[in-house]
Amino acid sequence: MSNISGVFTGWGEAYGRFVEVFIDGHWWVVGDSLENIGKTTKRLLNNAYPFLYGGSASSGLRGSSPKVSGYAKPGKDIERRFKD
């Protein structure tokens, strides 16, 4: 018990390491979350307002086939869809 200061400094050192790892880990998680939220927001805005990012208003709604463009057309009558 003659060197009691070693106990306090050892405890303080361990507590400092714990706090450092705790804070660093939280900053890492928060940073990753904000990065993913930002990327998702950009995608949603690009889909909602394509003309803001250099596209046209209907560019995202068309098909990607070079031969057939436009919208899908039904191949059956409504009554036949429910009978099959």
Q: Is 65 among the domain residues?
A: no
Does this model's pTM top 0.75? My answer is no
Q: What DSSP letter does each residue of 60-77 carry, written as one string?
A: TTS---SS--S----SS-
For the chain, give the percent of residues with pLDDT over 70. Answer: 63
Q: Is the pLDDT of residue 76 over 70?
A: no
> 32 pLDDT exceeds 90?
yes
Number of folded domains that form the chain: 1
Host domain of residue 29: 24-53
Give the pLDDT of residue 70: 60
Residue 67: pLDDT over 90: no
The verdict on residue 79 lying in a domain is: no
Tell me how far CA of residue 37 lies from CA of 34, 46, 60, 66, in angstroms.
Answer: 5, 14, 22, 34
**Per-residue pLDDT at 65:** 60
With respect to residue 63, please indicate whether it lies within any of the assigned structural domains: no
C-alpha R_g of the chain: 30
